[in-house]
């Protein structure tokens, strides 16, 4: 998580023992780090370093799945910007394929771990949405309907997911189901929150009703994505 800078000893103590560390906290920490240094020594050059700023560790990009996830995501976004939605979708899918459940699920939660887990979870959800955008821009509307339904079930209050599902259905010739999807969202929000869908969703609903050509079927591997109304 802090692979690009040293972590101060006081911060490590705070993460391990909270606001009430034992008197032996620093000695215990040094013992733990010595054990870690011995484990890492088997890989060759020294990789755990100590200095005035604290402790740091040398990691290659392929040794840290978070770094690999972020690199794949960056490449996918570049492909999307350059008008290569099919490649973008593949790269996004590869990034999501690195996930094996919730981040740090097998570790005791600390302040730093909770904050990083929250950041990574939000990033994962965003990449899921970007993956669907890439598929839609590539014209793969019918192919993603099932996955979009699952994403809506997992996060029913992320309204833009409903919009992507509406768009995929409409572009697949299933306009009635797209309109039914909007009504289901409207009912959910009214019952649970007492609010209406966002203005973007209302505009999309009107566009579907009027068969607005701006949301017509996007062709496979087109150079620029069609409007998504999100």
Residue 205 is part of a domain; what is its CATH number? 1.25.40.10
Boundary-marking domain end, from 91, 112, 137 = 137
* Same domain for 145 and 80: no
So what's the pLDDT on residue 203? 97
For Cα atoms 55, 56, 59, give the angle at the middle one, nearest 5 degrees.
Answer: 155
143 and 214 share a domain? yes
Same domain, 149 and 124: no
For every one of its 230 residues, what pLDDT tens digit does the chain have, with 9 covering 90 and above?
556 678 888 888 888 888 888 999 889 998 988 888 888 776 656 678 888 878 888 776 567 788 899 999 999 999 999 999 999 999 999 999 999 877 766 666 677 778 888 899 999 999 999 999 999 999 999 999 999 999 999 999 999 999 999 999 999 999 999 999 999 999 999 999 999 999 999 999 999 999 999 998 755 554 444 455 44
Check if the beta carbon of residue 54 is closer than 8 Å to that of residue 7. Answer: yes
The pLDDT value recorded for residue 11 is 84
In this prediction, residue 116 carries a pLDDT of: 82
Q: Are residues 44 and 121 in the same domain?
A: no
Q: What span, in angstroms and rounded, lies between the C-alpha atoms of 95 and 73?
A: 6
Calpha distance 76→229 (Å, rounded): 21
76 and 155 in a single domain? The answer is no
Report the pLDDT value the prediction gives residue 220, as an integer from 0 to 100. Answer: 55
Last residue of a domain, one of 137, 157, 188: 137
Range of the domain at 75: 61-137
For residue 2, is it within any domain? no
How many structural domains does the chain have?
A: 3
**Where among 137, 163, 188 does a domain terminate?**
137
How many residues does this entry show for the chain?
230
> Tokens in use for 58?
């040398």
Do 54 and 11 contact (CB within 8 A), yes or no?
Answer: yes
Task: Say if residue 84 is in the same domain as residue 171.
Answer: no
Same domain, 67 and 96: yes
- CATH code of residue 13: 1.10.10.10
List the one residue out of 185, 181, 125 whose CA is nearest residue 157. 185
Q: Position of tokens 């990789």?
A: 47
**Closest C-alpha among 205, 198, 199, 204 to residue 227:** 204
How deeply is 47 buried, as exposed, middle or buried, from its count of CB atoms within 10 A (0-12, 13-18, 19+)?
middle
Same domain, 48 and 76: no
Are 41 and 120 within one domain? no
Neighbours of 80 (CB within 10 A): 21
| Residue linked to tokens 């979009």 | 148
């Amino acid at each position: 998580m802090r692979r690009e800078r040293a972590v101060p000893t006081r911060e490590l103590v705070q993460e391990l023992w909270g606001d009430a560390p034992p008197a032996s906290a620093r000695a215990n920490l040094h013992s733990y780090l010595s054990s870690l240094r011995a484990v890492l020594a088997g890989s060759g050059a020294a990789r755990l370093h100590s200095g005035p700023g604290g402790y740091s560790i040398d990691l290659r990009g392929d040794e840290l799945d978070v770094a690999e996830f972020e690199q794949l995501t960056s490449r996918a976004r570049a492909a999307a910007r350059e008008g290569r939605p099919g490649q973008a979708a593949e790269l996004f899918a590869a990034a999501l394929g690195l996930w094996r459940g919730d981040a740090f699920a097998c570790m005791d939660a600390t302040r730093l771990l909770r904050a990083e887990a929250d950041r990574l979870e939000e990033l994962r959800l965003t990449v899921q949405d970007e993956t669907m955008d890439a598929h839609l821009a590539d014209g793969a509307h019918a192919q993603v309907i099932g996955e979009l339904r699952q994403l809506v079930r997992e996060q029913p209050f992320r309204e833009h997911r409903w919009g992507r599902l509406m768009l995929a259905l409409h572009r697949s010739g299933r306009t009635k189901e797209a309109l039914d999807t909007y009504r289901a969202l409207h009912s959910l929000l009214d019952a649970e929150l007492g609010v209406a869908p966002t203005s973007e969703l209302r505009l999309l609903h009107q566009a579907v009703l009027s068969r607005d050509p701006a949301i017509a079927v996007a062709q496979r591997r087109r150079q620029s994505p069609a409007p998504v109304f999100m």
